[in-house]
């Protein structure tokens, strides 16, 4: 839930994320929704979500082995971490799950099957750091 009291829900079967106002039944599509895939407007089983104060949405895109960043109102996302295929190199993730973004824009990712936590500083798309 964000500061405006919107609830964000990842729909793993529909490969999308929706935002709901309390009491709303259908919600608003805010990420994905273009079928299963790895284009920047698609997700492949979105798992964990993080929403910052600007309503920027971060999605752990589990089977695309990446974290996507969706700015408010965007129709496609930006790869924030991973996205270089499945693997254990510092530029790769393997089934990411939990994510957190601190007040400095640093992204932390639970890189599940690599058994590590990775850190990406804001703007660093090349590689993360194991912490």
Q: What is the pLDDT of residues 37-47, one digit of tens each?
A: 999 999 999 99
Q: Which domains does the chain have, with CATH numbers?
A: 7-130 (2.40.10.500)
What per-residue string of b and e applies to 99-126 under the rule 16 or more CB within 10 Å gives b? Answer: bebeeeeebbbbbbebeeebbbeeeeee
DSSP assignment of 47-79: EEEEE-TT--EEEEEGGGTEEEEE-TT-SS-EE
Residue 73 CB partners (closer than 8 Å, separation 6+): none
Answer yes or no: is pLDDT of 125 > 70: no
Rounded to whole angstroms, the Cα distance separating 6 from 29 reads 12
Query: Which two three-digit tokens encode residue 2?
Result: 């964000």
Answer yes or no: is pLDDT of 4 > 90: no
Q: What is the pLDDT of residues 62-114, one digit of tens each?
A: 999 999 999 999 999 999 999 999 999 999 999 999 999 999 999 999 999 99
């Amino acid at each position: 839930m964000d500061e405006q009291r919107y609830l964000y829900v990842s729909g793993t079967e529909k490969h999308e994320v929706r935002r709901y106002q309390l009491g709303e039944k259908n919600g608003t599509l805010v990420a994905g929704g273009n079928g299963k895939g790895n284009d920047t407007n698609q997700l492949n089983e979105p798992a964990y979500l993080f929403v910052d104060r600007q309503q920027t949405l971060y999605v752990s895109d589990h089977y695309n082995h990446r974290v996507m960043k969706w700015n408010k109102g965007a129709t496609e996302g930006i790869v924030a971490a991973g996205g270089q295929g499945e693997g254990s190199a510092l530029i790769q993730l393997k089934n990411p799950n939990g994510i957190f973004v601190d007040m400095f824009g640093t992204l932390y990712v639970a890189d599940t099957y690599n058994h590590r936590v990775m850190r990406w500083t804001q703007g660093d798309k090349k590689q993360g750091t194991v912490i």
